[in-house]
Amino acid sequence: MANPQEYIRNLTPYVPGKPIEELQREFGIQNVTKLASNENAVGPSPLALAAIVRELAELHRYPEGSAPTLVSELAAFLQVDPSNVVLGNGSDELIKLILQAFCPRNGVVVSSEHGFLMYKVFAGGFGIRCAEPPLAQNYRYDLRAVGAVAKESGAHAVFLANPSNPTGTTFTQTELLRFCEDVGPDLLLIIDEAYYEYVEMDDAVDSLTLLRNRPNTVILRTFSKAYGLAGLRVGYGITSSEIANYINRIRTPFNINRLAQVGATAALGDKEHLAQVLEVNRAGKIQITRGLRELGLNFADSQTNFYLVDLNRPAGPVYEALLRMGLIVRPMTAYGFPCHIRITVGQPAENARVLSALRAVLAE
Nearest residue to the partner ligand PLP, using Cβ: 90
- Pick the binder of ligand PLP from 42, 80, 102, 116 (CB under 6 A): 116
State the helix-helix crossing angle for 68-78 and 258-269, rounded to 10 degrees: 30
Does 165 help bind ligand PLP (rule: CB under 6 A)? yes
E strand spans, the chain:
33-34, 85-88, 108-110, 129-131, 157-161, 188-192, 217-222, 235-239, 298-299, 306-310, 327-328, 330-331, 340-344
For residues 35 to 74, the per-residue mask of contacts with ligand PLP, x marking binding by CB under 6 A and - elsewhere, is ---x------------------------------------
Interhelix angle 258-269/46-55, nearest 10 degrees: 150
Interface residue with ligand PLP among 44, 90, 291, 346 (CB under 6 A) is: 90
194 sits near ligand PLP (criterion: CB under 6 A): yes
Nearest to 166 by CA among 16, 8, 348, 312: 16
CA torsion through residues 243, 82, 233, 40, sign:
positive
CB 247 within 8 A of CB 101: yes
Binding ligand PLP (rule: CB under 6 A), the pick from 230, 283, 295, 362 is 230
Check: CB of residue 7 under 8 Å from CB of residue 127.
yes
Residue 165 beta carbon to ligand PLP: minimum distance, rounded to whole angstroms: 4
Q: Does 205 contact ligand PLP by CB under 6 A? A: no
Taking the least distance from each CB to ligand PLP, the nearer of 90 and 291 is 90
Rounded to 5°, the CA angle 74-77-78 comes to 85
211 binds ligand PLP (CB under 6 A): no
Binding residue (CB under 6 A) for ligand PLP from 169, 207, 217, 222: 222
Residue 122 found at the interface with ligand PLP (CB under 6 A): no
CB of 122 to ligand PLP, least distance (A): 11
Kindly tell me the burial class for residue 43, based on how many C-beta atoms sit within 10 Å of its own C-beta (0-12, 13-18, 19 or more): middle
Q: Is 161 in the site for ligand PLP (CB under 6 A)?
A: yes
Q: Which stretch binds ligand PLP (CB under 6 A): 181-189, 197-205, 223-231, 345-353?
A: 223-231
Residue 231, C-beta contacts closer than 8 angstroms, at least 6 positions apart: none
- Say if CB 315 and CB 341 are below 8 A apart: yes
Cα dihedral angle (223, 229, 231, 236), rounded to 10 degrees? -10
Instruction: Please report how close the Cβ of residue 38 comes to ligand PLP at its closest, in angstroms.
Output: 6
The least CB distance from residue 312 to ligand PLP, in Å, is 25
Stretch touching ligand PLP by CB under 6 A, among 84-92, 319-327, 335-343, 348-356: 84-92
According to the binding rule CB under 6 A, does residue 257 interact with ligand PLP?
no
Interacting span for ligand PLP (CB under 6 A) from 11-19, 24-32, 218-226, 276-284: 218-226
The residue among 261, 246, 257 whose CA lies nearest residue 86 is: 246
Nearer to ligand PLP, 196 or 357 (CB): 196
Which of 156, 160, 100 shows the shortest CA–CA distance to 125? 100
Chain residues in the site for ligand PLP (CB under 6 A) = 38, 90-92, 116, 161, 165, 192, 194, 222, 224-225, 230, 235
